[in-house]
Structure 1
Amino acid sequence: MGSCERQHMNFHLHLSDLFHRHHRHHHGDNNKKKGVPKGCMAVLVGHEGEEKLERFVIPIMYINHPLFIKLLKEAEEEYGFDQEGLITIPCHVEQFRNVQDVIDREHHRVMNPHHHHHHHRRNNFLCLKA
């Protein structure tokens, strides 16, 4: 196994651990009180110190999307895997919404392959470090 494959596998192992710690911490019996439906998770988005962090409730399916994985890697670089509480994504809120739009459009296209829409793409500036 090459070093790139080991690094990729290591990231997924850490991601799995991070998700399970988050899930145990935030999805107890009072799940409905916190506004997090089954199959979803809450994350905080924003650059601490530059803007107010905003809470998003997102579908768990986002975790497997390459764009979201890049955001999680940035969170790892910024905060490490020892975050307590909600996962914080170091990304401007509007940029995160653009990422959500891309993921949602792709998911819709996969789930409805015969339903054709013409989407006018916005500038999808991702919150990924250069």
Structure 2
Amino acid sequence: MKFALLSLLALCGVAYVRSDEPATCRCALFVSSPHNEYMVYELAPVPIDSCESHKQCKNRCVTELNQDTSNLDLWATMGEDTVGQAFCHELYRHFFFWIHNSYVHGYYEMCGGPWEYTGIDSQQPLCCDMGQQEHCIA
């Protein structure tokens, strides 16, 4: 009986501590391969009203990701490189040397939950060869 009461109190304490954490939203872009998804870009986490604010998180991510990447135009400039070149460089840093005809997809994640699709994709497929963006050939 004591064990059950202590367990219940411990669970309540965990739930209480969890509720004090701020609700956060993460936004990222992933490229797909036949077997995996690879993160190529992530924004800093942003606060949201609650861990139930799916629409708020999704809308914020779509807006921010589109602003940062010129609406996911892989040939638009992003700093000193193109958007696609920045992605190819990031993939290369993580030992992904070749990407061929792969679209980049936007996702959001709330409060440590699963990544969810935003509905946005790159305007063109991404092709990388040893960290260098190339025009994709069918």
Specify if TM > 0.5: no
- More strand by percentage: 2
TM-score (norm 2): 0.24
- Structure showing greater radius of gyration is 2
TM-score (norm 1): 0.25
